[in-house]
Amino acid sequence: MIHREGIASIVLTLLLAGLLVFLARYFCPNCVIAHYFTYAIAAFLLVIVLQFFRNPKRHTTLNDAFAIAPCDGKVVVIEETVETEYFKDKRIQVCIFMSPLNVHVNRNPISGIVKYVKYHPGKYFIAWHPKSSTENERSTLVIQNTVNNKEVLFRQIAGFLARRIVCYSKEGDKAVQGAEFGFIKFGSRVDLFFPLGTEIKVKIGDVVKGGISTIAEFK
């Protein structure tokens, strides 16, 4: 299944691929090698774009005691830090880096009510730069679980290549754990901020799957 955010990019890639094939056949009508080389480039471009915008089905087992991964990627940071935008106190931060090869659909880590949504324009530091969490283009969301009242802040962060962040959630929306809330194009990261005392179930270097992997357990 292909994500709807990829339709425009796929159409443009098809047009580019068609133009390359046309130019090769027009300027080198008798050069078979050039034709096959152009076909290969066109096919490669199309495959790259299709795999980037893939949207595999994920089955999430709903559980209010756990927070799950909001995206595919690798855990690159686990640390206690001060969250300065919403909570303004100490939290446990978990950062997940998404490479261009990962699925880029973003999913709700917990169920509940969306309490806060804010988009911030910003810079485009590489995704693992320490300043990217606070200075890059980003969208911040907070969901409050209505069963245990736990609040989790999570942040979509643009990277050096990621130039478009899409967030569908709005304040007051009902969030379902594992359901899609957004998309980030061409690699980036998602940060999560948990209350102190939350048991983190991953370690740095772990590869996680959005909507499936358990990130933390609330205590």
Contact call for residues 154 and 116 (beta carbons, < 8 A): no
User: Which residue type does 183 have?
Assistant: F
CA distances from 143 to 4, 33, 159 (A): 25, 56, 24
In the annotation, is 111 catalytic?
Answer: no
Residues in CB range of 144: below 8 A, 6 or more apart: 112, 113, 115, 150, 151
Please spell the DSSP secondary structure of 190-218, one letter per residue.
EEEEE-TT-EE---TT-EE-TTTSEEEE-
User: Which residue type does 145 have?
Assistant: N
**Set 111, 132, 133, 188: catalytic member:** 188
Buried b (16+ CB within 10 A) or exposed e, 147-165: eeebbbbbbbbbbbebeeb
Active site residues: 188
